[in-house]
């Protein structure tokens, strides 16, 4: 049995290290141009080169997005970008545009070409054609069922790799090709600058009744016409792999390092547990619980089982049950050395996510500031603290608290 690849997102260097620490097989990210997420800080070429070197030292691959739909005034800048990405040592380019595919073959011939989900591949003929053009992998459209995916796998060259999204935000538009943001606020989603108007609350306005707004109610919270639920396939990775998928992709290049750490860790453990005993695999409850500890909308299984994600009609925001309150810098002689991220108190029981990924809890019986003074609360961002605890907290651990 081939082993599926766990592909994690990175919007910046901190997210990259989270993906690397918590078990990604490959990491996808963007340079400063031509990526479908403009909000993250992304990677300049020096940072990209350093990050790729760190990843390769751990036998982890790095894929660079070049998946916008460039216009005439942009396409002339693509060759230099491709050459620089290749020089940095990237393992693959993620591409949506056929013209860019052609340029990549000329200007980065040793870098694999992956076809982005933005290309909207939904059948085996298109997948095979792209393979014949030189693509080593196709990121399939999110609108496919497992039956559809298995059909593509059965009728394409076995060397063509298939990749699907298994976790994260979903878009109301087909495979992310959306004009709503551009139309409403002038921010082009197809150039990575989506304002996410699909998450906004809407109402009717009658032209002769100025200032009177008429809600079109779906729930008491208001009217959310386009607000899709989030995807979560953690309980169904066996079905994903049996359909012939090579790469399991986590959405989230605009998400924080904490999100990357938790989701990567959860899917890493789920995959490893599956491969230990595929015939009797059952998801460990703690793994599913971990995914409730990151900000998310209501979870669903997307289109994989022939249905559709449906809307989150309650609100346009996230479910946030936990927050990171500190990061462990070191632990020695029964003392944890912490850097604060959010306020917490002596007496709190904190949930710890260590780099080995198995969570546990520690109760803070006392804490001290940098001057060695006993304190009851840690209210200052980035404050240095020491916390005595008989339970070792490994360096790099994330300390979390359930929101009250």
Total structural domains within the chain: 2
Minimal CA–CA distance to 248: which of 266, 226, 228, 230? 266
Based on the fold, state whether residues 386 and 239 are members of the same structural domain. no
pLDDT on residue 214: 62
Based on the fold, state whether residues 12 and 130 are members of the same structural domain. yes
Q: How confident is the model at residue 187 (pLDDT cuts 50, 70, 90)?
A: confident
Based on the fold, state whether residues 22 and 119 are members of the same structural domain. yes
Is residue 230 a contact partner of residue 168, using CB atoms and an 8 Å limit? yes
pLDDT, greater one: 68 or 387: 387
**Bridge partner list, 319:** 296
Q: Lowest-pLDDT range, 2-16, 39-53, 185-199, 231-245? A: 185-199
Q: Lowest-pLDDT range, 88-92, 114-118, 162-166, 188-192? A: 188-192
pLDDT digits (tens, 9 = 90+) for 1-24: 568 999 999 999 999 999 999 999
Q: CA 395 to CA 373: how far, in whole Å?
A: 23
Which CATH number do you get for residue 276?
A: 3.20.20.70
What would the mean pLDDT of 392-404 be, rounded to a whole number? 94
Which CATH number do you get for residue 364?
A: 2.40.30.10
Give the chain's mean pLDDT: 90
Is residue 115 a contact partner of residue 130, using CB atoms and an 8 Å limit? yes
Based on the fold, state whether residues 292 and 336 are members of the same structural domain. no
pLDDT on residue 41: 81
pLDDT on residue 361: 97
DSSP state of 261: H
Is 368 inside a domain boundary? yes
Q: CA 48 to CA 62: how far, in whole Å?
A: 9
Q: How far is CA 387 from the centre of its chain?
A: 32
Range of the domain at 58: 5-173+229-298
Based on the fold, state whether residues 257 and 334 are members of the same structural domain. no
Q: CA 10 to CA 390: how far, in whole Å?
A: 34
Is 199 inside a domain boundary? no
pLDDT digits (tens, 9 = 90+) for 240-282: 999 999 999 999 998 999 999 999 999 999 999 999 999 999 9
Whether pLDDT at 218 is above 70: no
Based on the fold, state whether residues 262 and 373 are members of the same structural domain. no
pLDDT on residue 319: 84
Give me the DSSP letters along 18-86: HHHHTT-SEEEEEBSSS-S--SS--B-HHHHHHHHHHHHHTT-EEEEEE-S---HHHHTTHHHHHHHHH
Q: Which of 243, 264, 298 is the last residue of a domain?
A: 298
**Bridge partner list, 103:** none
Q: CA 132 to CA 195: how far, in whole Å?
A: 36
Based on the fold, state whether residues 51 and 164 are members of the same structural domain. yes
Based on the fold, state whether residues 119 and 238 are members of the same structural domain. yes
Minimal CA–CA distance to 301: which of 232, 249, 238? 232
Whether pLDDT at 395 is above 80: yes
Based on the fold, state whether residues 125 and 239 are members of the same structural domain. yes
Beta pairing class for 92-95 and 61-66: parallel
Q: How confident is the model at residue 171 (pLDDT cuts 50, 70, 90)?
A: confident
Is residue 265 a contact partner of residue 171, using CB atoms and an 8 Å limit? no
Q: How confident is the model at residue 331 (pLDDT cuts 50, 70, 90)?
A: very high
Is 217 inside a domain boundary? no
Is 108 inside a domain boundary? yes
The torsion angles phi and psi of 366, rounded to 5 degrees, stand at -160, 160
pLDDT on residue 33: 86
Based on the fold, state whether residues 272 and 393 are members of the same structural domain. no
Is 114 inside a domain boundary? yes
Is 221 inside a domain boundary? no
Residues with Cβ within 8 Å of 345's Cβ and at least 6 positions away in sequence, in order, are 364, 376, 377, 378
Please, what is the Cα angle at 265 between 262 and 266, to 5 degrees? 85
> According to the 3-state scheme, what is the secondary structure of 305-337?
CCCCCCECCCCCCCECCEEEEEEEEEEECCEEE
Q: How confident is the model at residue 222 (pLDDT cuts 50, 70, 90)?
A: low
pLDDT, greater one: 319 or 197: 319
Q: What sections of 217-371 are H helices per DSSP?
A: 237-242, 257-276, 285-291
Based on the fold, state whether residues 273 and 341 are members of the same structural domain. no
Q: Which of 298, 313, 331 is the last residue of a domain?
A: 298
Q: How confident is the model at residue 144 (pLDDT cuts 50, 70, 90)?
A: very high
What would the mean pLDDT of 92-116 be, rounded to a whole number? 97
Is 191 inside a domain boundary? no
pLDDT, greater one: 285 or 308: 285
Based on the fold, state whether residues 169 and 56 are members of the same structural domain. yes
Q: How confident is the model at residue 215 (pLDDT cuts 50, 70, 90)?
A: low
Is 378 inside a domain boundary? yes
């Amino acid at each position: 049995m081939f082993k599926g690849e766990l592909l994690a997102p990175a919007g910046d260097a901190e997210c990259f290290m989270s993906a690397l620490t918590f078990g990604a097989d490959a990491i996808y990210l963007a340079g400063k141009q031509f990526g479908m997420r403009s909000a993250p800080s992304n990677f300049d070429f020096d940072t990209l080169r350093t990050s790729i070197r760190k990843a390769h030292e751990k036998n982890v691959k790095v894929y660079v997005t070049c998946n916008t739909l460039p216009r005439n005034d942009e396409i002339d800048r693509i060759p230099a970008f491709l050459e620089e990405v290749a020089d940095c040592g990237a393992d693959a380019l993620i591409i949506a545009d056929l013209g860019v595919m052609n340029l990549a073959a000329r200007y980065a011939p040793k870098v694999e070409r992956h076809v982005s989900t933005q290309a909207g591949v939904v059948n085996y003929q298109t997948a095979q054609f792209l393979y014949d053009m030189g693509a080593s992998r196709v990121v399939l459209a999110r609108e496919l069922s497992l039956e559809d995916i298995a059909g593509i796998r059965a009728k394409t060259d076995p060397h063509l790799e298939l990749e699907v999204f298994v976790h994260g935000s979903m878009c109301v538009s087909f495979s992310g090709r959306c004009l709503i943001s551009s139309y409403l606020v002038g921010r082009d989603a197809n150039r990575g600058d989506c304002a996410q108007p699909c998450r906004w609350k809407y109402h009717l306005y009658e032209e002769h009744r100025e200032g009177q707004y008429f809600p079109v109610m779906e729930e008491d919270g208001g009217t959310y016409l386009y607000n899709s639920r989030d995807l979560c396939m953690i309980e169904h990775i066996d079905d994903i792999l049996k359909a012939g998928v090579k790469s399991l992709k986590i959405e989230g290049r605009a998400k924080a390092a904490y999100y990357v750490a938790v989701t990567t860790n959860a899917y890493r453990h789920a995959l490893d547990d599956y491969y230990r005993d595929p015939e009797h695999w059952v998801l460990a409850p703690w793994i599913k619980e971990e995914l409730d500890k990151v900000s998310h909308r209501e979870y669903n299984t997307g289109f994989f089982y022939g249905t559709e994600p449906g809307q989150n009609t309650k609100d346009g925001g996230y479910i946030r049950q936990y927050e990171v309150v500190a990061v462990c810098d070191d632990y020695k002689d029964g003392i944890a050395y912490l850097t604060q991220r959010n306020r917490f108190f002596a007496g709190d029981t904190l949930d710890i996510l260590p780099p080995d990924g198995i969570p546990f809890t520690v109760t803070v019986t006392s804490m001290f500031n940098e001057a060695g003074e006993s304190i009851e609360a840690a209210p200052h961002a980035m404050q240095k603290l020491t916390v005595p605890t008989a339970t070792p907290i490994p360096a790099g651990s994330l300390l979390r608290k359930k929101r009250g």
